[in-house]
Every structure is written in C-alpha cells, then in structure tokens.
Chains A and B, each alone.
Chain A
C-alpha cells in the first residue's frame, strides 16, 4: 500500500457490494472487497422474478418514473423517505440499460427488445427479467465486471473472510475494519478511508427463511453494537409464496403470479359463503373450477387480483389457512399455473419450475404448487442519511452523505440499508435498490474519500487498529474456553422458533413481550456455551457460535420496535392495533444498542413525505370504505 494511498473497503459481495465496488474502482480508488463466500455465490443469486423500471411500452400506456415512485411509496405504506425513492425510480431505466450492456440475458420479444412482465403492486408491465433467475443473472454480470477490475489489480477480494467489527476513531470516524480468515482463523485489521457495509438481510434470525445460510444479519448487528443506529427493524417481509423444507423455505417467485398464477383453496359454498372443503386434500384437478375452488385474492381484490403486494397476499393466505381452508387441513394453499403451456412456463419461469420439481417432486405444469408464506426480506436495516435536493425530487448527486450511517465514513448499501421500501417492499424493487445504492451512492463514497485526502487512514495510529484486533481475539478466546454446556445450534433453533411465532404475520403486544423475555433467557444461555470444536483451523462451529450472539442482539430491536409500534402498517400487523396510525407512527423507528443490558433503546423520527401525501392503502379491496388510487387503469397492459 502506498503511504498516502486512499482505499475503500466494501463488505459483502452481493449486488449492492459489487455495484459499489465497480463504481468506486471506476472512480479510480482501490477497493478491498470482503465476503463470507466467493462473491459469485452471494445471496443475490436467489432473487428470481425481475427488476422494475419504467420502459417505453409502459410509458406510452401512461406509466412513468413518477408512477414507479408513487407505487413504491404506496406499496411501502408511506413509511419511506421520499427523495431517495424518487431518485431510484428515475435512475431505474438507466440501470436496466447498463445491465443490458453488461450482457445480462434479459428475455426478449420477437423483435429483440427486452420483454416485460407484471409484478405485484402495479397494473403496468414494468418488470424486466431473465427467466426466473434474474438475481443470478444480474449477479453474474456484476461479478464479471468485478473480475475485470480484479484482473487489473484495482480490486482485491478477500473471500471466505468474515467482517468482525468496524474500526472507529476518537472523532467517531470509521477508519477500517477487523476481519477473520475463515480458513486460517487469523484475525487482522484493514485500513480504509471509507467502509461500505453491503451484507444483506437477517432471515436466519427467524430460523427458517428464504435466505441463504450466510444471511444472519451478523455484520449489521456488529455495526449496530458498535454504535450505528438500526432503523425500522420490525419491518420484516414475509413472502406469500414459499415451499416448506427441512433446512429452508424455498422461494416461489412472485413472477409466478405475475405470469398468471392463481392462488386458491379447496372450498364449497354454504349459504352463499365459502366454507372449507370437506375433502380438501383430494386431487386438485378433480375440484370444480366454479363451485369447489375459492380464488380468494381475485374475489377480494378485483383490480389487482393475484398481484396484490406481498404483505396483503401473505395475510390473506395466512388467514384462510387459520380459518381452516388450507389444503388437506394443513398450512398450504394452491398456486396454480397449470392453465399455462409447458413451453410458456419453461421460457419465462424455468428456474422456479425446476426448483419446485427438484425439491417437491411434482410438476407445476401438471399439478398446482402447494405454498405457504415464509420470512423473506428485511425492509429495516442500518440507519442512513441522504442529501435531498431543494425540491425533494431526488438526492444531490455525488454527495458524501448519501446512505452514510450516523458513523462518518461508514455506509450501508442494499438490503442492509433501511431506505427505499418503507413498511413493505414491492416485488422486483430489491435488485433495483441494491444496484442503485452501489452506483448512485458509490459516487458519494468516492467523493467522501477524496475529501479525506489530508488525513488518510494509512497514516492513522496503529494502536487504534491493534486494540480492536485484541478485543476480537479475546472474545474468540472466551468463546473457545467457555464450558457452560449450552449448544449454539439449540439456542439458534429456539430463537428462530420464537421469532417466527411472535414477530411475523400477526403480532400482538402480549406475544412480543413474551418473546422479549425469551430473548433475555437466550442471551443468558449464550454466555454459557460449550463449543464442540475448539480447533484453530476452519472452525465453522466457532463462527456460528459467535454470530448467534449477534443474531440475539439484532432480534431485540425487531421485537421491541414491533412492541412500541402500536399500529398496523405494511408488513407489520398488530392484532391489538389493526389500523394505521399516521399521527403517532408515520415515523421511523430508530434503535440504539445499550451495551450494558444488551437491549435496544427505540426512538421515533419523522419521515420526509413532502412529495406524496399519505392516503388510504387498500388496493381496492371489496367492501373497503374508500377508493385507493387516483387513476387506476382499467386493465393491465397487453
């Protein structure tokens, strides 16, 4: 390292991390990229359905970037700051063009244009896709561009390295990180003039989820424990359509519904009302379309039908199952694509059809799929700031404040950032927000680092770094020597079960209180573990035991934020407070870690709603009192 050379660290090699890496390297700054896995294997590969952007067809039907912005705000139940969303929606078409230039094999029309499909929360086709593995395809394109910079020596990748702690100086500026090599178990510090955390979500806090095994929220939790604020933790998206499994819940993309998939349960009409079918486990093909199948989403939401947003679909599916309508009396409903041709399914949904066939052993072209909601995405995340334009229509380009946390020089991009999605994320907006953060806000990082030129991390005192390394080493040593008998896998399992029971589709004050008490117990037991492996080479047992503690820390604001939010909004539904309460809670929950108790302190701060005024959000549900939207087109585009 040159003595005065400026450097940036990016932690996380998913879409957000790689987009940031590419943009920052392109700005001429060397990047050190840290990842738990070879970056090509990051969790972004699991995204299936697509990526939203206004496009020429939709535009000529009356859609616009503004509509995309408005849908995202409405979908998020008005909880997000509006200027960043405005900027994102307006940059979206350019992001698609860029990905196209990078070689992403987007599906094509006969004329060779990028094909489009419908997605939840919109009546226009504005979702671009590559089969049903869009995330994988976008990841690979960015992995390839990163590889190019790696080959030129502008990016150094540290794969199979785990981020342990940010290094923060006496002035409160982030000056690097401490990380651990997952093979040699070596712990060392790395200097940097800015650090971008792009480590995704925290699905594993809930035990089973649609997330990959590394999505523990560990890195976010460590930043939070080091003093970074954590916002809107209670907003966890439960995806309506997942397949249950012994090790994880496998996602069945929303694109299945976007491409015409119909959700139904076996039922019979009694006195004009639907009742559970007496033989609901029988061959679904033998159930009569009109009299034995209740298409409950289509019936309740005539405008949007099966493409209502995720929080609504999830609650409806959950509630029909709770009312005894589930297939065979269990917790499952049908997601039916059997009316589509095999060829159509292969070219547009091949990836997910394959997953269903492999993991369930049935063919979705022949039999309707059996699905149930599963924990999927974290709208909340590390608290970040932004620099709004004077008229609030977007962010100031290149401003160092964009997506910087409360710790100077420490940024949060992608799912780990709490911005953009409010109380509920619309399908196919996640890939967009990840890449947008990397590209748009990456520029601010480069600007910030250049401003730091006079005081580079390469010249900072070594003792600051050594101190964090020593603290991390002693933490590991105490984990290895602990002999309390508790098993980290058992603690994680109990945490997951408790979180799923208390804090997913339906919550209540009493249940959340109970879960907080359980959390207290688990925190105590985590102090009394015994590790089955105390070795010093590729010790996965140790890394797991450590991150279980970080999951326990992060579970606290998820529960406590939910307890304090006495309203229902987006993904957060309280059976004891069933209405949205803008007066009290059109606010961001901000959690700060209290090191003495291990708990969070929650405060609330205002949301910037200067562009779109909050309105009733019911997606035109039959029987609801007020109309939803100003100008809903009568039908979806052709």
Chain B
C-alpha cells in the first residue's frame, strides 16, 4: 500500500495486476465494471504474498480507475483473513472462494495479469462485493441448529464420544457459513423475498449442519423436527445431485456424504411417520 512506488514508477520486484471489479451502488441498482491497476510486491522472505484483500485495501486507499477517474472505494466483506470466519466469499475469475486465501502469487503471478471480482450471485447485493447472506442464517434457525441443553448451570459433563465420532463431527462443525456451496449449486437460486425463505431450498451447508446436530447424543432430541424440514419444501429432496458443492467447499467438508446421510434419515423418518402416524 505504498505510494512511493507511484512516485518513482514501478519499483523492482513490483508487478501490476489489473482488477476488473463488478460494482453496484445498492440493492436494485444497475451494476457496472470498473478497472484498477494495483501494484503487487513479489513475496519475499518475511513479507508473505499479497492477496485479494490486500489489493482491495490498496484500492480503498487509492480509488482511481485505469482511466484516471476518481471513484469510491469498493465495498466488500471480510473478517479474520485466515479462512475461518467465512465473511470474504467472492466470485474470483469465475470461481467462488474466500478472497483472503486467494494469493496473488498463484492467482496473478505475472506483470499484467488480470483478476476479475464479482459478488456472489445467489444472495442480494448490499453494495459492490458485499452481499446479504441472512437467508443462510435463517435456514440454520429453520432446522433448529442447536443442541437443546437444559441451561447454562453446572450439570456435569456432556456425553462421552469416541475419537472417531468426534473427528467426524469436528469436520462438519468447521462449516463457517461462507456460502461457497450455495453459489455453486444449480438448485439454490437468488431469493430476495424473505417471505419465501421458509420454502426455498436450504442447500448443502444447512443439510450438512442437520446431519451434524442429529449426530450428537443431545442434539438428536430435535432430529424429528429437523427431518420434518428436510422432508418438506426446500428440503433435501430439492438437491439435484450436481455435486458442485463439495468441490468448492474451502473446508473440504464431505457435503455429498451429508446429503446422502440426511436423505436416508429423511426416508426413514417418512416411512416411520407413514406407519406410526404423527
């Protein structure tokens, strides 16, 4: 983020990366493209590689397009910058991913390389690259994504668990609600109308969280209600088995296994309901 380079021209070991950014001033506003040339330092011992975030920070400090026109800093969402918070998901060169772990060394290694940034298309845009993922959190509420404990007072330890089960649950629990799997899913579509959320497809992340909570000895207590949601409109049967989700998950969560597991649980749940009544 140094302005020294600008004054002296391109310093040694600095290259220029061109960013094409899809911008939008607010909900319902038309989108447009703006281009920025960002100086990127080659990573050397002790400095670390530039990433999409550090480039967006540079643009925020120097919001001038390649035509030399002053513009506003690009709005974007980010948090931890180490791929555990899930905030900074974007579509980068056509691929949905976390922008913090998109390093310039691998994504734009040469002078003049281009990087295209777009907001996710499955969520309403707040502004520029900053989208509204409330629906995802709404869906976690829909499936009762919690363990129904008796309260926070001291009631002793939780259930024992084998290391195998812990490792399986841990993997599922790493889901950071980033939305990559939803962006990549052909069945998950943009739904800006909140009133429709309770019928719309929940997508892989929430199906996997259903499996996660149903695996826990106390979490199971709500399994029936969760499977009611999963067997209803927008539930697991809406999955078209494209299997894009598992390919884009930054945490490598076995999402298709989760979909299979919840599918089976739902089938058994429906059969049981059919024979036993509600």
Residues of A that sit less than 8 Å from B by CB: 22-23, 26, 37-38, 40-43, 45-46, 94, 97-98, 100-103, 105-114, 130-131, 133, 136-137, 140-141, 144-145, 147-148, 150-151, 183, 212-214, 243-248, 250-251, 281, 327-328, 330-332, 347, 351, 355, 358-361, 370, 372, 439, 487, 489-490, 493, 532-533, 535, 537-538, 540-541, 544
Instruction: Tell me the minimal C-beta distance from A352 to chain B in angstroms.
Output: 9
Instruction: Tell me the minimal C-beta distance from B156 to chain A in angstroms.
Output: 6
Chain B contact residue count (CB 8 A cutoff)? 76
Instruction: Tell me the minimal C-beta distance from A432 to chain B in angstroms.
Output: 15
Chain A residues near B81 (CB, 8 Å)?
212-213, 245, 247-248, 250
Q: In B73-116, which residues have CB < 8 Å from any A CB? A: 73, 75-76, 78-87, 100-101, 103, 105-106
Residue B161 at the chain A interface, CB threshold 8 Å: yes
Using A108-B161, A535-B72 as known contacts, say yes or no to A489 and B1 having CB atoms under 8 A apart. Answer: yes
**Interchain CB contact (< 8 A) of A489 among B61, B80, B84, B152:** B61
- Inter-subunit contact B48/A355 (CB<8 Å): no
User: What separation, in Å, do the CA atoms of A213 and B81 have in the docked complex?
Assistant: 8
User: What separation, in Å, do the CA atoms of A558 and B259 have in the docked complex?
Assistant: 51
- Inter-subunit contact A46/B84 (CB<8 Å): yes
Chain B, residues 117-133, CB within 8 Å of chain A (1/0): the string is 00000000011001001
- Inter-subunit contact B147/A102 (CB<8 Å): yes
- Inter-subunit contact A243/B48 (CB<8 Å): yes
User: What separation, in Å, do the CA atoms of A332 and B47 have in the docked complex?
Assistant: 10
- Inter-subunit contact A102/B141 (CB<8 Å): no
A100's nearest neighbour on chain B, judged by CB, is B158
Using A40-B86, A101-B218 as known contacts, say yes or no to A327 and B26 having CB atoms under 8 A apart. Answer: no
A111's nearest neighbour on chain B, judged by CB, is B160
B140's nearest neighbour on chain A, judged by CB, is A147
- Inter-subunit contact B46/A144 (CB<8 Å): no
- Inter-subunit contact B152/A23 (CB<8 Å): yes
- Inter-subunit contact A94/B101 (CB<8 Å): no
- Inter-subunit contact A247/B57 (CB<8 Å): yes
- Inter-subunit contact A541/B158 (CB<8 Å): no
B178's nearest neighbour on chain A, judged by CB, is A41
B177's nearest neighbour on chain A, judged by CB, is A40
Instruction: Tell me the minimal C-beta distance from A30 to chain B in angstroms.
Output: 17
Q: In B26-68, which residues have CB < 8 Å from any A CB? A: 26, 41, 43, 45-51, 53-54, 57, 60-61, 63
For the complex of A and B, the 3 pairs showing the least CB-CB separation, nearest first, are A489-B61, A100-B158, A245-B48
- Inter-subunit contact A358/B101 (CB<8 Å): yes
Residue B163 at the chain A interface, CB threshold 8 Å: yes
Using A38-B133, A105-B166 as known contacts, say yes or no to A540 and B48 having CB atoms under 8 A apart. Answer: no
B47's nearest neighbour on chain A, judged by CB, is A244
- Inter-subunit contact A332/B149 (CB<8 Å): no
A487's nearest neighbour on chain B, judged by CB, is B61
Chain B residues near A212 (CB, 8 Å)?
79-81, 85
User: What separation, in Å, do the CA atoms of A568 and B163 have in the docked complex?
Assistant: 45
- Inter-subunit contact A214/B151 (CB<8 Å): no
**Interchain CB contact (< 8 A) of B146 among A144, A183, A213:** A144
Residue B232 at the chain A interface, CB threshold 8 Å: no
Known A-B contacts: A246-B50, A247-B57, A370-B45. Give 5 more (CB < 8 A): A105-B173, A107-B163, A112-B160, A213-B78, A358-B101
A99's nearest neighbour on chain B, judged by CB, is B158
**Interchain CB contact (< 8 A) of A108 among B43, B146, B162, B176:** B162
Chain B residues near A247 (CB, 8 Å)?
50-51, 53-54, 57, 81, 100
Using A359-B49, A535-B25, A538-B26 as known contacts, say yes or no to A351 and B84 having CB atoms under 8 A apart. Answer: yes
Instruction: Tell me the minimal C-beta distance from B160 to chain A in angstroms.
Output: 4
